[in-house]
């Protein structure tokens, strides 16, 4: 008798997601200026790419920053995302990415926007890899002029 694949429902691994949030928070704090204020901008050049962090909102318990990548001759759409840092919990979460103004914890699959079931986890994991790349190979430089 042939084996039949059973489709298991996707469940968010909250412990792993929180680990990613916590490490992203630590990495972002290493890249942001101490005592950051609204309007502060930090740029890092890594290889031939430039990454810019812009502080958009600062409250008592949170900070909202935009992160974008710039390239002199982009071959594909460059990533942009908004990240909220929660200082009391010491975590950072991707709130928006590209054309998506809100990222849900999980999505039904397949869906009209072709998002993965674990889109939120993947975006936050990508942010962590991006930040690690900036920390390891980035050189501070002047802000990007749009």
In a domain, 2, yes or no: no
Contacts of 29 (CB under 8 A, 6+ apart): 85
In a domain, 80, yes or no: yes
Cα separation, 84 vs 92, whole angstroms: 6
Q: What is the mean pLDDT of residues 55-75?
A: 86
In a domain, 7, yes or no: no
In a domain, 43, yes or no: yes
Confidence of residue 137 (pLDDT cuts 50, 70, 90): confident
Q: What is the mean pLDDT of residues 128-141?
A: 88
Q: Report which secondary-structure segment, H or E, holds 142.
A: none
- Are the beta carbons of 117 and 13 closer than 8 angstroms? no
Domain that holds residue 57: 14-31+39-103+112-137
Q: What is the tens place of the pLDDT at every residue in 82-121?
A: 999 999 999 999 988 877 667 766 656 666 765 666 778 8
Which tops the pLDDT comparison, 75 or 64?
64
pLDDT above 60 (res 1)? no
pLDDT above 70 (res 70)? yes
Alpha-carbon dihedral sign for residues 112, 122, 124, 140: negative
Residue 61: predicted pLDDT: 95
Structure tokens at 10: 């996707």
- Are the beta carbons of 10 and 121 closer than 8 angstroms? no
In a domain, 122, yes or no: yes
Q: What is the mean pLDDT of residues 6-33?
A: 85
In a domain, 99, yes or no: yes
In a domain, 4, yes or no: no
Q: Number of structural domains, the chain?
A: 1
């Amino acid at each position: 008798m042939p084996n039949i694949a059973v489709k298991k429902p996707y469940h968010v691994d909250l412990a792993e997601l929180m680990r990613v949030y916590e490490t992203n928070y630590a990495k972002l704090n290493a890249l942001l200026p101490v005592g950051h204020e609204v309007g502060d901008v930090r740029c890092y050049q890594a290889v031939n790419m430039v990454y810019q962090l812009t502080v958009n909102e600062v409250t008592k318990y949170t900070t909202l920053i935009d992160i974008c990548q710039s390239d002199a001759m982009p071959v594909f759409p460059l990533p942009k995302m908004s990240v909220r840092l929660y200082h009391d919990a010491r975590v950072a979460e991707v709130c928006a990415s590209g054309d998506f103004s809100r990222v849900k914890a999980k999505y039904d699959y397949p869906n009209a926007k072709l998002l993965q079931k674990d889109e939120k986890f993947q975006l936050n994991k990508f942010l962590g890899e991006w930040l690690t790349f900036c920390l390891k190979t980035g050189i501070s430089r002047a802000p990007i002029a749009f």
